C-alpha cells in the first residue's frame, strides 16, 4: 500500500514537471497579440492577451479584440473576476490557443483580470 502511494506521488510530480515550458535561448516567446496568435500560434500554446471583450456570442463564448484582430474566447463562469466587465474595460487574460483545422479557432481562458 505504501509503495502505491509513493508511486502515485512520483507520477504526479513527474506530470507536473512535464507541464513546464522551456524559456532559455532559442525558445519562442508566447504570442501576445491576436494577430500573432492567429498567424503563428500552435495548438495548445500558452497565450497572454490584453484588449477588450467586445461581444457575447453564446454560452461561455465571447469575441475579444485587441486592435490587431479579434478571436473567440471560451470563458468558464468561475474564471470571471468579481464585478461587472463590459466592452469598455481593458482586460488581460491567459489561456491556451485551441487551433482548429475546421471552424473557428479560440482561446480557452485560464485567468482573466480587469486592468485598472
Instruction: Read off the CATH number of the domain in which 34 is found.
Output: 2.40.50.200
Tell me the CA distances in angstroms from 103 to 55, 66, 69, 98, 111, one per residue in order.
19, 21, 17, 11, 24
Residue 13 has pLDDT above 70, yes or no: no
**Is residue 10, in this structure, part of any structural domain at all?**
no
Which three three-digit cell numbers place residue 90? 481593458
In a domain, 5, yes or no: no
Across the range 61-71, mean pLDDT stands at 96
Domain that holds residue 89: 30-114
Does 71 reside within a domain?
yes
Q: Is residue 60 part of a domain?
A: yes
Q: Is the pLDDT of residue 86 over 60?
A: yes
DSSP the chain: -HHHHHHHHHHHHHHHHHT----STTPPPPP-SHHHHHHH--TT-EEEEEEEEEEEEETTEEEEE-SS-EEEEE--GGGSPSS---TTS-EEEEEEEE--SSS--EEEEEEEEE--
- pLDDT in the model for residue 65: 97
Whether residue 15 is contained in a domain is answered as no
Q: Please, what is the average pLDDT of the chain? A: 84
The answer to whether position 65 is within a domain reads yes
Section 49-74 average pLDDT: 96
- What is the number of domains present in the chain? 1
Task: Quick: pLDDT tens for 18-59.
Answer: 445 666 776 667 788 999 999 999 999 999 999 999 999 999
CB distance 113 to 55 below 8 Å: no
Under a CB-based contact definition with an 8 Å cutoff, are residues 60 and 22 in contact?
no
Question: Does residue 89 belong to any structural domain of this protein?
Answer: yes
Using the predicted structure, report yes or no on whether residue 7 has a pLDDT greater than 50: no
Say what the pLDDT of residue 106 is.
96
Amino acid at each position: 500500500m505504501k509503495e502505491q502511494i509513493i508511486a502515485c506521488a512520483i507520477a504526479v510530480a513527474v506530470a507536473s514537471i512535464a507541464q513546464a515550458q522551456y524559456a532559455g535561448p532559442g525558445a519562442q516567446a508566447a504570442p501576445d497579440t491576436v494577430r500573432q496568435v492567429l498567424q503563428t500560434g500552435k495548438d495548445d500554446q500558452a497565450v497572454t492577451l490584453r484588449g477588450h471583450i467586445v461581444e457575447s456570442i453564446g454560452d461561455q463564448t465571447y469575441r475579444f479584440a485587441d486592435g490587431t484582430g479579434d478571436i473567440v474566447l471560451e470563458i468558464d463562469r468561475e474564471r470571471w473576476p468579481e464585478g461587472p466587465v463590459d466592452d469598455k474595460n481593458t482586460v488581460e487574460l491567459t489561456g491556451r490557443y485551441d487551433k482548429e483545422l475546421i471552424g473557428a479557432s479560440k482561446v480557452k481562458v485560464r485567468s482573466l483580470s480587469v486592468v485598472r
